[in-house]
Structure 1
Amino acid sequence: MPCRAARRLYKTLGRRGCFLAILGTGKTCWGVSFLVAPPGDRGLKLLTQLCDLRHWSWLWIICGLITFGSAVVRVGRDWFGFAAAIIPPTVWALAYTHAVITGDYSRGGFVALWYLTSHVGVILWAATVPEYSVPRVPRPARRGKAA
């Protein structure tokens, strides 16, 4: 029974929807972690000059919920989820890049590259993946027994 439910959910969501659901859950959880126990602001002074990291956590949470909600939207209209998914890691990458340029956090360049490759790059790639793959090659017909 659980396998049937999982197959039905996968069929409903499709490949892109599954990706958006997983990504949205992850971004929401990441945002909640900033809300519950915010880390140090090392490298994020550009953001913390505007407001506290607890406030910035809502960017992750809201974008994560939008991304998750876009999982059930029809292909072609799910672009909104991919766009929402890109926003938080791009903001963080910009903040870390700014920290490197100003000399506040020398390691920030590596963190910025990590956000740009493992987050933004993967999201941009997944947005181009088609929902339907090439169909399987049909099996040749079996030969019947002569009567």
Structure 2
Amino acid sequence: MAAALARLWGRLGWRGLALLTTGVSWISYGASLTIQPRYGTVRGISVLLDLMCMAAWGWLWITAGAISLAYALVRPGRDLLGVAAAMGPPLLWSLAYALGAMAGTSPTAWGAIAPWASHALLIAIVAYLTRPRLIVPRVVGDGAQ
């Protein structure tokens, strides 16, 4: 059992764990938006509701979560679509709340901007810190003087 967990962790790592937990979170959040959206969320992102209904936005979150999950076990450097799927929805929500606050559709929308943006930033930090290192051989001399 310990060997299997070690192999799984060797394949997953911190980057994969971030994509895995984000994927599960986005699927859960998207399902809640699709089934029973909260009133504050509807008011806060009202600028997006002219583009699609709330159920469609919920499916966007679910799809992004599924993509994040699918890329959790992919090697770093080949998982950029998963990283983008993990970062996209919270950045979009942060922008929607910012626009909602500026438009005055929700007096408390400003309070949701930083929390959503911070999740995307944390994913970017994990992706940066766990990126594959390029090993370039150092050329000492090419023989020409």
Q: CA deviation at 1:122?
A: 0.6
Aligned residue number for residue 138 of structure 2: none
Aligned residue number for residue 123 of structure 1: 123
Aligned residue number for residue 60 of structure 1: 61
Give 5+ residue unaligned stretches, structure 2. Answer: 133-145
Structure 2 distance, partners of 1:101, 1:131, is: 36
Question: Which structure has the greater CA radius of gyration?
Answer: 1
Structure 2 distance, partners of 1:63, 1:92, is: 13
Structure 2 distance, partners of 1:31, 1:83, is: 17
Say if 2:18 and 2:123, in contact at 8 Å, map to a contact too.
no
Structure 2 distance, partners of 1:31, 1:84, is: 13
Q: CA deviation at 1:131?
A: 6.3
Aligned residue number for residue 37 of structure 1: 36
Q: CA deviation at 1:4?
A: 4.1
Say if 1:24 and 1:66, in contact at 8 Å, map to a contact too.
yes
Percent of aligned positions with the same letter in both sequences? 34
Tell me the C-alpha RMSD between the 2 structures.
Answer: 1.6
List structure 1 runs of 4+ shifted beyond 6 angstroms: none
Q: TM-score, normalised by structure 2?
A: 0.81
Structure 2 distance, partners of 1:124, 1:131, is: 10
Give 5+ residue unaligned stretches, structure 1. Answer: 133-147
- 3-state secondary structure, aligned to 2:115: helix
Say if 1:21 and 1:68, in contact at 8 Å, map to a contact too.
yes
Structure 2 distance, partners of 1:105, 1:17, is: 36
Aligned residue number for residue 93 of structure 2: 92
Q: TM-score, normalised by structure 1?
A: 0.80
